[in-house]
Structure 1
C-alpha cells in the first residue's frame, strides 16, 4: 500500500513515469535515492552548475520512502541546541540553528518560485506540555537560545496555547514562527518535477545492487549500470543494510501516523484553523497539525524497532498502533471522537545516536558521498542536507564542507542483539515513565534513568 500523503499526491499528479534504467549510462554525478535528500541535492547541483550531467536512480518511485510518509512538520534545530553545542561548540551550534531556520523559509520560497503546491503553510510551531511533569521542560533550551540571541520562541498564556492548538490538553506552550507544515507527498513529487525540469535524468524502479569504487565509480542496477565521476548515496534508513560499515550507526524505528476524514466544521469549532504544528514534551513526541482540506494528522514516534536494521514488512502496512493513536486523538480532540479515520501508516526512520544526521565521503578515490540519520525529523534538515552534499560533490570550501556534520557518524549503537533488546528496554521504560506522569504519579527511579538514554539526543520522530 502507499501511505496516505503519497497516494493523495499521486492522484493529483499528471506526470509520466520515469522508466527504469536499461543498459549502460554515463554521468558526472549519480544520486542513489529519490527522496528529499537526493532530490534537493540534484536540484541544487543543477541550479548552481547547469552543465553538470546529474542522473538519479530510485528503487521504487520518488517519495516512496520516508519523504512521502512523514508527519509534514518542517522544524528547525532550535530544540536540539544543547546537543549541537555539546558536539560542535557554541559558534557552530548557533550557525546551525540559524541555518535550520533559513531552510524552513527556503522551502517556501522554492515552492513559490517553481509553482509547487505542497500545502506549505508558514504558521509556526507550538512546543507544549501535556502534563505537569512536562511543564518547564523547555525552559532550559529557551534560555540558552536567548543567551545566544537566536531565540525565536515566546511563551504564551495557557488559554492562548489551548486556543491555537485546538485542545485543552495543553498546560504550557512556547510558540515559534520559524516552522511550517507541508503535505509531504506533494512536496517530494514537486521536487521530482522540478528536478526533471532542470534537466536531471531520473530512473525510477531502479535499485542499486552494487557499487564498485573507482574513478569513475560503477553503480550496478538489475538491468544496467552507471559510470559516474561522483556518487551521492541518499538512501537514509536503507544505508545501514546496504553498507555494513554503517550497520551500527543508526537504529531503525517507526513513526506511526493517522489522519482523519475531512471535518472543516469541527476544526472551526475547536479553533485549530491555522497550519501550526503542535508537539508535546515527551521523549518520543506526539505531533499533529491540520490540513487545508479539514483533516487532523496525528503521529507518534518510537514504536516498532527493527532487529539488525531490517526493513520490516509492517513499515509498508497500516500502523499496528492505530488504536493507541486514535485514543490519543480523542483525548486531544473530544469533538473528533466520532470522526472516521481515513488512513493509518508508519515507516522506518534512521535514528542516529545523537539524533542528528551525519555526512561524509566513503571511497578511497574521494568521490562517493553520503548523508543520512535524520532521526525522524528531516523535512526541514533535508534541505540543509542537499546544501551539504551539493557542496561536497563540487569540492567547495564553505561553511558546509567545514562543518563537523561532514565527519561521518558521531557515535555507534551496540552490536545486536544488545542494540535491539536495549532499545526495547528503554522504549518500555519511557512508556511506563510517561504513563505515570500522565496520571500524576511519580515514575520509578529506574525508568527515569533508562529514559535518559533516549532523552540525551533530544526530541525525536516528529517530522
Structure 2
C-alpha cells in the first residue's frame, strides 16, 4: 500500500516561509530543540505520522500506558505546523452537537461522548499543570450568542434535550451578562457553559512535544512520509526522502492531508479554510470592554464568527467557511496571510467599535478537515491489520483531539473498552460528491449562506432558495471555533 506524494509546506527555517502568528509566537517563546530529520533505517514498535495534537496525544498516552514501547513520530514540517499551531485556540466540547451525536450513535453513547468531551477540557488543563506546560490554558467557559433575530433560540433544542437527561452544562444568561462576557453590545442573547475555555495553540502543541520527548518518544521533523508499505502479518515500512522507518503498528494522524494521501478517503472530507486576525496588545481597552477572561465566544451563524482575548491583551477574531479547496488540495493560500482580512476587520468593527483603530498584528488561515457528520472518525486502514487512522475534526479539534488520542492509543494496544467499541471507530459515516461536483456544490452553498446571513444581519427575510441550500451545510455542524 503506497501513499501518494503530497505538496509540502516549506521548512520553518526557510527565510521566505510564512508562519501563522500562534505558531511563530510559540516557537519564539518556547525555543524547542532543533529538528531531527529521519535519516537511514530505523525501527520502532509504533510509528505515528503527524506532529499535531492527535499524533502527540496518542504518543503520550501510549507511553503512559506502556513505557517500554518504542514510539517514533514523523512530521513533514515542524511540530504544530498544521492545524494544531494555527487554530483559534478555542477549547470547546461536543455538547452543542448532542442531537447529532444521538442521531448517529444512540442516546447512551451520545451522552458518554458529551461528558467525555467536557472532561477533556479539564484533563488538558490538569495535564498542562502536571507537566508545567505554560499554554495559557484558561477554563473560563464558552458563550454562544445571537447577533441577529434569526439566530435567537438556536441552542434551545439541544439544551432541552440535555437537560432532560440531567446532562446539560449550559444555561441562558441575562442579556446584560451576555454583553458583558462577549465584550459587545451587538449580542441579543447568549447561553453559557463553564466546560470550555481557550489556550495558546502553539504553546500547547510544543508543550506536548516536550513531554512526549521526555517520555521517550523519538520525534523526526522535516520528514514527510512518501510511501507506506504494510503487508498483512508483517511490520509496516514507512519511507521518507532521507530514511525508512519499520514499525509493528502505525497511526496516521495527518488530518486534512489524509484525503489526498490515501485513495480510500477521497470524498470523506472537504478541506475548508478558517481565517483569523489578531490585534496588537491593547489591555486597557479590553479591560474597558470586559474582555479580561479566557472564555471562547461565538455567534450562531453557520459559518460562525469566534473570538477570545489573550493574557497579554490582544483580541483574536476568526471566521470559518471561506475557502474550499478543489480535490482536498493544500492550497498555497493556506500558508499566507488571509485574503479575507477586510471582511474580518469589518466584523471586528461591527462587534467592537472601540477596537476599530487598533492595529492588526497579523492575519492567517489554515485548512480544516470537514467531515460529512462534523465529527472525526477512526478505524483501521483497508488492506492492513496494523495501520490505524483518525481525522475529520471539522474545525473543533483542540479539545476533541484528546479523545482522539484515547481512541487511537486504545486501538493500537488492542484494548476492549468504551473507546474501541465506540461508533466513532467504524470509519467514515458518509461521503461528499466526487469532484468537480463537490467543489461546485460547495461554492453554491457557501455563496447562498453568505447571502442568507448578510440579509439576516440586516433583519431582512432571506431568499427561499438560499435557505434550502444552507440546510445542506448544517448537517456538518457549525464552522471552525477551535
Specify the TM-score bucket, using the shorter chain as the normaliser.
over 0.9
Give the match for residue 139 of structure 1. Answer: 156
For residues 265-276 of structure 1, the aligned pairs below 5 Å read 265-276=284-295
- 1:240-288 C-alpha deviation (Å, 9 max, x unpaired): 1110111100000000000000000001111111111101000111000
Q: Distance in 2 between matches of 1:111 and 1:172?
A: 33
Q: Distance in 2 between matches of 1:445 and 1:145?
A: 31
SS for the counterpart of 1:205 is: coil
Is 1:240 the counterpart of 2:265? The answer is: no
CA contact (8 A) 1:252 1:310 kept: yes
Q: Distance in 1 between matches of 2:220 and 2:22?
A: 22
Q: Name whichever of 112-121 and 266-275 sits farther off.
A: 266-275
- In the alignment, structure 2 segments of 5+ residues that lack a partner are 1-17
Per the normalisation by structure 1, the TM-score is: 0.99
Give the match for residue 190 of structure 1. Answer: 207
CA contact (8 A) 1:83 1:457 kept: no
Match of 1:106 among 123, 138, 150: 123
SS for the counterpart of 1:159 is: helix
What is the root-mean-square deviation of aligned Cα atoms in Å? 0.7
Segments of 4+ in structure 1 off by > 6 A? none
Q: Distance in 1 between matches of 2:347 and 2:184?
A: 12
Give the match for residue 33 of structure 1. Answer: 50
Give the match for residue 13 of structure 2. Answer: none
Match of 1:410 among 429, 439, 457: 429
Give the match for residue 261 of structure 1. Answer: 280
How many Å apart are 1:149 and its aligned residue?
1.2
The count of aligned residue pairs is 463
SS for the counterpart of 2:87 is: coil
Q: Distance in 2 between matches of 1:365 and 1:67?
A: 28
Is 1:282 the counterpart of 2:305? The answer is: no
Q: Distance in 1 between matches of 2:202 and 2:293?
A: 20
CA contact (8 A) 2:63 2:215 kept: yes
- 1:196-217 C-alpha deviation (Å, 9 max, x unpaired): 0100000000000000013201
Q: Distance in 2 between matches of 1:29 and 1:460?
A: 33
Q: Distance in 1 between matches of 2:475 and 2:269?
A: 15
Give the match for residue 325 of structure 1. Answer: 344
Give the match for residue 361 of structure 1. Answer: 380
CA contact (8 A) 1:79 1:459 kept: no
Give the match for residue 12 of structure 1. Answer: 29
CA contact (8 A) 2:372 2:475 kept: no
Q: Distance in 2 between matches of 1:90 and 1:169?
A: 36
- 1:288-313 C-alpha deviation (Å, 9 max, x unpaired): 00000000000000000000011000
How many Å apart are 1:457 and its aligned residue?
2.5
Per the normalisation by structure 2, the TM-score is: 0.95
Q: Distance in 2 between matches of 1:232 and 1:349?
A: 20
Is 1:165 the counterpart of 2:182? The answer is: yes
CA contact (8 A) 1:284 1:459 kept: yes
CA contact (8 A) 1:79 1:458 kept: no
Is 1:455 the counterpart of 2:455? The answer is: no
CA contact (8 A) 1:229 1:367 kept: yes
CA contact (8 A) 1:29 1:228 kept: yes
Give the match for residue 401 of structure 1. Answer: 420
Give the match for residue 297 of structure 1. Answer: 316
Give the match for residue 349 of structure 1. Answer: 368
Match of 1:441 among 460, 470, 474: 460
Q: Distance in 2 between matches of 1:306 and 1:460?
A: 15
Q: Quickly say closer, same or farther: Cα 1:211–1:185, change in 2 above 3 A.
A: same
CA contact (8 A) 2:45 2:69 kept: yes
Give the match for residue 213 of structure 1. Answer: 230
Q: Distance in 2 between matches of 1:365 and 1:32?
A: 16
- In the alignment, structure 1 segments of 5+ residues that lack a partner are none
